[in-house]
Amino acid sequence: MFHHLNIRTLAAAAVLAASVSAFAMGTRPKGDDESANSRIAPVARVELAAPAAGAAAGNRSGEQIYKAACTACHDAGVAGAPKLGDKAAWAPRLALGLDGLLKSAIAGKNAMPPKGASDANDTELARAIVYIANKSGASFKEPAGK
């Protein structure tokens, strides 16, 4: 039976046996890891900005809160969020006044989680609402104090 085997058959069998044992021992074929990693990398990453330097919690401006927590949705109109500066979209909301908007923002509204998922206190949140509202057609006055 063995006299019918030729050199090519023996060589092929040896390569096959080496490949099977390499896989069985946990090795993998050589390749370009960097290339493979770039092909399977996530397409996006979300990073939340830290409060601006020098602005202690409770003392942040409406613009700082907006940039840290609100911009992700209100700049792009994500999940129906009215865009900053869109007077038509904000008009019915502005009719609620600052107190009405603050109450909605504290509780959360539609897809927006309570306080827009920010760590703002009520005064900072009111400042953020004033910032957004005034950029969108209102003339609210910013609350003072903490």
Q: What is the pLDDT of residues 92-141, one digit of tens each?
A: 999 999 999 999 999 999 999 999 999 999 999 999 999 999 999 999 99
Model-level pTM greater than 0.75? no
DSSP code of 109?
A: B
Domain layout of the chain by residue ranges: 2-29, 62-135
Q: How many CB atoms lie within 10 A of CB 132?
A: 27
Q: What is the CA radius of gyration of the chain?
A: 30
- Residue 130 and residue 139: Cα distance in Å, rounded? 8
* Domain at 62-135, CATH class: mainly alpha
